[in-house]
Amino acid sequence: MQALPIAILGAAGRMGTTLIRLIQADPARYTLSGALGIADDPSLGVDAGVVAGGQPCGVALSANIEEALAGARVAIDFTLPAATSAHLQACRTHGVALVLGTTGIDDDGLRVLGDTARELPIVYARNFSVGVTLLTALTRQAAARLDSDYDVEIIEAHHRGKRDAPSGTALALGEAVAQGRDVTLAEVADWSRHGDTGARQRGHIGFAVVRGGSIVGEHSVLFAADEERLELSHHAVDRSVFARGALRAARWLAQRPPGLYDMEHVLGLGVGD
């Protein structure tokens, strides 16, 4: 099978450079066809493999998305929400399938995402870890079987530089609990607690956020009843786990028709089980 040509959007970032190194390490399955940076990046024009700390690959870091997408079958995007709509439009114009891992996308951006998926295959996930995908599915199943006698708390921890809170993964876990209990997250989420908050409301989902150091990503879902506690958790120790999942999604997506998919589709899990 021919190596899959992939464009990396956000190629000079932490996820972008990790993806480039993994692509270079597996030339039988992947090839880097383009690398998009930001307009003021001093590394523009430098070989993307060198930018990623590896060997030259013959692809220069570019601020031109048209150039970055040329020749790609799939693009992988881990950038910022402000760029999402423009990247979606460019991928649609060029017919390049998209693996989207940007978190913090607002409602307008999500609407553009849904519209674009009618014409383009897209995998959108807040976390591309295979383990987190399974955690989300297990959380949904547990919530469907543990009623509101079980209080739910979601705890997440990330490095000091993470800008959105709660994390996209924590939100996805909250949505999984809400789906399992046939409610909407907005109805039952307790985003923060301070001062005299009163007793915990039955059926609500609490969120706690930790930011510090170089924590890659830790997520736990606690189901606490009077007589027992169930805790489901995942700890990432290296961000390459997310990059490997994104590449797995890219291979899967290259064979799919237009539509909006997630990692549960990639892994063949029954969404909503």
Reported as a single tens digit per residue, the pLDDT across 99-109 is 999 988 999 99
In a domain, 90, yes or no: yes
Q: What is the pLDDT of residues 238-258, one digit of tens each?
A: 989 999 999 999 999 999 999
Q: Which entry of 94, 159, 162, 204 is annotated as an active-site residue? A: 162
Give 130: exposed, middle or buried? Use CB within 10 Å, 0-12, 13-18, 19+: middle
The Cα–Cα gap between 52 and 58 comes to 13
254 and 197 in one domain? no
In a domain? residue 77: yes
Stretch 108-112: mean pLDDT: 94
Looking at the structure, tell me whether residues 223 and 252 fall in a common domain: no
- For 215-232, the pLDDT digits (tens) are 999 999 999 999 999 999
Residues 115 and 250 occupy one common structural domain: yes
The residues that bridge with 9 in the sheet, in sequence order, are: 36, 77
- The mean predicted confidence, pLDDT, of the chain is 95
State whether 89 and 152 are in the same domain: no
Q: What is the pLDDT of residue 272?
A: 42
For 202-223, what is the mean pLDDT?
97
Q: Say whether pLDDT at 137 is over 70.
A: yes
Q: In what order do the strands lie in the sheet with 121-124?
A: 61-62, 30-36, 4-9, 74-77, 97-100, 121-124, 259-261
**CA-based max dimension of the chain:** 62
Structural domain count, the chain: 2
Comparison of pLDDT for 258 and 126, the residue scoring more = 258
In a domain, 271, yes or no: no
In this prediction, residues 188-213 reach a mean pLDDT of 96
Residue 272 lies inside a defined structural domain of this protein = no
273 within domain boundaries = no
15 and 108 both lie in a single domain? yes
CB 205 within 8 A of CB 152: yes
Query: Which residues constitute the domain of residue 43?
Result: 4-124+239-266
- Give pLDDT tens digits for 13-67: 999 999 999 999 999 999 999 999 999 999 999 999 999 999 999 999 999 999 9
**The whole model's pTM is what?**
0.84
Are 95 and 183 in a shared domain? no
Report, as an integer, the average pLDDT of 195-220: 96
Q: pLDDT value at position 1? A: 66
Calculate what percentage of the chain has a pLDDT beyond 70.
98
Q: In terms of domains, do 174 and 243 share one?
A: no
> Domain for residue 193, yes or no?
yes
CB contact at 8 A, 265 and 123: yes
pLDDT at residue 269, rounded to an integer: 87
- 9 contacts 19 by C-beta, under 8 angstroms: no
Q: Are residues 55 and 89 in the same domain?
A: yes
CATH number of the domain that residue 120 is part of = 3.40.50.720
CATH code at position 162:
3.30.360.10
Query: 111 in a domain, yes or no?
Result: yes
The answer to whether residues 258 and 210 belong to one domain is no
**Cis peptide preceding 166, ω within 30 of 0:** yes
Is there a single domain that holds both residue 222 and residue 249?
no
Verify whether residue 162 is a known catalytic residue: yes
Residues 20 and 107 in one domain: yes
Band of the pLDDT at 127, cuts 50, 70, 90? confident
139 and 98 together in one domain: no
Q: In the predicted model, is pLDDT for residue 143 greater than 50?
A: yes
Residue 266: predicted pLDDT: 96
Per-residue pLDDT reduced to its tens digit, 169-181: 999 999 999 999 9
Which residue of the set 158, 219, 234, 265 is catalytic? Answer: 158
CA dihedral 248, 250, 256, 257 (to 10 degrees): 150
